[in-house]
Amino acid sequence: MEPNILTGSFQLMKSLNRSVILNTIRKKGGISRADIAKTTKLTPPTVSNLVKELLETEMIIETSLGVSSGGRKPTLLTLNSDMFHVIGLDIGSHHLKIILTDINGRIRKKQIHPIPDSITNEGLLDLMITSIYAIQKNEQIDRNKIIGIGIGMHGIVDVDQGVSVFAPNLKLKNIGIKDALEKEFQMVVQIENDARAMSLGELWFGNGHGDDSIVCINVGRGIGAGIIINGQVFRGEHYISGEIGHMAIDLNGPKCTCGNYGCLQTFASGPAIVESLKKELKLGESSILSNKENEIDGEVIYQAALAGDLLSKNILNKAGRYLGVGVTNLIHTVNPKRIVISGGVSNAKEFILESVKKTIEQRALTDSAKQTEVIISKFGADATVMGAIALILAQLFATPGNT
């Protein structure tokens, strides 16, 4: 069947305006009815009526009176952030991270649970359910004031069905997460690929407020990108948009786990960096890591580089240059306003970011493309779980018609 066509009706008109007002309050935070009318170009009575309704739902509250510039003092309105809460999960390769936030995304509680090796679908679902109960324990929070549960998950995710189709790092397939959690908790549940969740988190909580187009690149065990266009997560036809880890950049390069040669993640992922360094050590390069081959992981290399180890620095720089090639390809394809780099490898920002930028400067076609903003995520290891929160908030504050 055709999807429902969006037609104009009184309900649409009203819900659109209510949403516009709610979002204005969210963005400006502490704004009077009169100012809402000015910025939205709605008339004062319309604003007053809808604000009254929003006050009744307790989504917003009247706070202090503002300062007057000659006339009645404005009554300032803000989101009622103490009332409503959101739960976010980040399902990684070894750990499940869960947070509880208010609707401004301020973290109230954070917990981490290890994920046992060779876990089953049912085991993972059980772990998720118990962790969701656990984080609510001893919290003075009305259960039906929890708006929803957002989940960021690596691998391929069918957002509409709410299924983790393939989670390679856990070796699991077809986990029916949404159905299971909705049945258990009777609230909104939304699951999304980790890089895409991150990118939405970056849009909501990062510097990129608004309707921008941004790309968030998650560089860790693999490399994945989340693409935001006009403020909407872009998923592609089969939920594999942004799978840039397997972008071919050097057809004569090393063999990748996918079977092809020269994929981006054979150069710039965490494992690739470790391999690259080990190989140099075997070739006899001198380094402070020379006799510690078994202890080497990404963090160790980063610390060595910080301590001044030239080989470690060079290896990280090289990874940055390759990442820059991939990023430039993305700029020439998606041409976003801003690119945010996150994930484990982005920890080594001092040694990565500059070489990414230099590579873009060198390779990008036009001056404007060269000036594409490239930053490191400010959320560090919390990027995915904040993105999971953003999934629910994006839905809560969505404008009618913009699915």
Tokens 């066509």 appear where? 5
Written in H, E and C, the secondary structure of 194-208 is HHHHHHHHHHHHCCC
Is residue 174 part of the contact set for a second copy (CB under 8 A)?
no
Q: Which of 4, 68, 140, 230 binds DNA (CB under 7 A)?
A: 68
Residue 29: Cβ-neighbour burial (10 angstroms; 0-12, 13-18, 19+): middle
Q: CB of residue 357 vs DNA: minimum separation in angstroms?
A: 44
- Per-position x/- string for 209-248, each x denoting binding to DNA as judged by CB under 7 A, each - no binding: ----------------------------------------
Main-chain phi, psi angles of 149, to 5 degrees: -120, 120
Q: Largest Cα–Cα distance of the chain, in whole Å?
A: 78
d(CA 292, CA 119): 31
Question: 157: phi > 0 → left, psi -120 to 50 → alpha, else beta; which?
Answer: beta
Is residue 150 part of the contact set for a second copy (CB under 8 A)?
no
Among the residue ranges 136-144, 177-185, 198-206, 330-338, the one whose residues contact a second copy (CB under 8 A):
330-338
In the complex with a second copy, the residue whose CB is nearer, 194 or 309, is: 194
Tokens 């969210």 appear where? 26
Q: Which of 33, 97, 196, 235 binds a second copy (CB under 8 A)?
A: 235
Is residue 262 part of the contact set for a second copy (CB under 8 A)?
yes
Q: Which of 137, 237, 294, 308 binds a second copy (CB under 8 A)?
A: 237
d(CA 329, CA 355): 15
Question: N- to C-terminal Cα distance for the chain?
Answer: 17
Among the residue ranges 29-37, 196-204, 232-240, 352-360, the one whose residues contact DNA (CB under 7 A):
29-37
CA 255 to chain centre: 30
Interface of this chain with DNA, residues 72 to 101, rule: CB under 7 A? 72-75
Nearest 5°: the CA angle 72, 77, 80 is 155
Is residue 69 part of the contact set for DNA (CB under 7 A)?
yes
d(CA 60, CA 22): 8
User: Which of DNA, a second copy, none does residue 75 bind (CB under 5 to 8 Å by kind)?
Assistant: DNA
Is residue 401 part of the contact set for DNA (CB under 7 A)?
no
Q: By CB under 8 A, name the binding residues for a second copy.
A: 2, 4-10, 12-17, 20, 24, 39-42, 156, 166, 213, 225, 227, 229, 234-244, 246-253, 258, 260, 262, 325, 328-337, 362-363, 365-366, 368-369, 372, 399, 401
Q: By CB under 7 A, name the binding residues for DNA.
A: 7-11, 13-14, 17, 32-35, 42-46, 48-52, 65, 67-75
